[in-house]
Amino acid sequence: MIIPCIDLMAGKVVQLVQGRDKALEADSLAAMLDQFSPFAEIQVIDLDAALGNGSNDALVEQAAARSKARVGGGVRSPDRARTLVVQGAHRVIVGTAAFSETGVRHDFLASIAAAIGRERLIVALDSKDGKIMVKGWREATRLTAEQVLGELSPHCAGFLCTYVDKEGMMQGTDLAWFERLRAATDLEITAAGGITTLDDVRALLAMNVHAAIGMAVYTGRLNLLELASINSGARK
């Protein structure tokens, strides 16, 4: 499945490079939702909530009302996860709060799963230089994605795995890394970060990995009509 991405910051749809530098502001949210309407699911990340700079709840609710949306950003409590579900989120993405300095926060993840249902929970594994990143990709843990997949599996329905090294840079992604992750778990994996070409997309789909695409769509490097056609074929 191909999943177009919407990142929200300061009331606008944006795309960042390496999670830091704003590369562009997109059209209005309504316009983006119209463009993404051929796709079965979209991904919405509230960057302000993720960074502790407020939230874009009204826009999240607008997106979830019009699309089947997996939503993340600033999910640090069961109450926040429940709020996103009430706002219409089909699934909730948890990143930083899933980890402590020493490893996986099992009690926290169990509380999220109890609040919204394990089938709604996706854990984000954002990797740079081989290590899982937290706090808006500003701090590295000692953990690798490969190390924690097994530990996380009882708590969630799948994983959002971002290759941060190339995020937003349109230089391709690390297909070998996603292949290793695919071999390590039977749960759903969604790939993100550096997906630039149709070959990238097809390779991921061939290994039964979803492709979450942002910058390459917003800059026109990837054509939405072509992606929708590939996506339709992949679902058959």
Question: Which residue bears the tokens 């119209």?
Answer: 34
* Alpha-carbon gap, residue 7 to 14, rounded angstroms: 6
Among 7, 46, 48, 200, the active-site one is 7
The two tokens of residue 212 are 């979450």
| Listed residue (135, 184, 144) closest to 163, CA to CA | 144
Q: What is the DSSP letter of 166?
A: G
CA 205 from chain centre, in angstroms, equals 16
Read out DSSP for 53-102? S---HHHHHHHHHHS-EEEES---SHHHHHHHHHTT-SEEEE-GGGB-SS
Directed axis angle between helix 175-184 and helix 145-152, to 10°? 30
- Helix (H), strand (E), coil (C) string for 216-231: HHHCCCCCHHHHHHHH
Q: Is 7 a catalytic residue?
A: yes
* Alpha-carbon gap, residue 219 to 125, rounded angstroms: 25
Q: Is 126 a catalytic residue?
A: yes
Among 34, 126, 129, 200, the active-site one is 126
Please give the positions annotated as active site. 7, 126
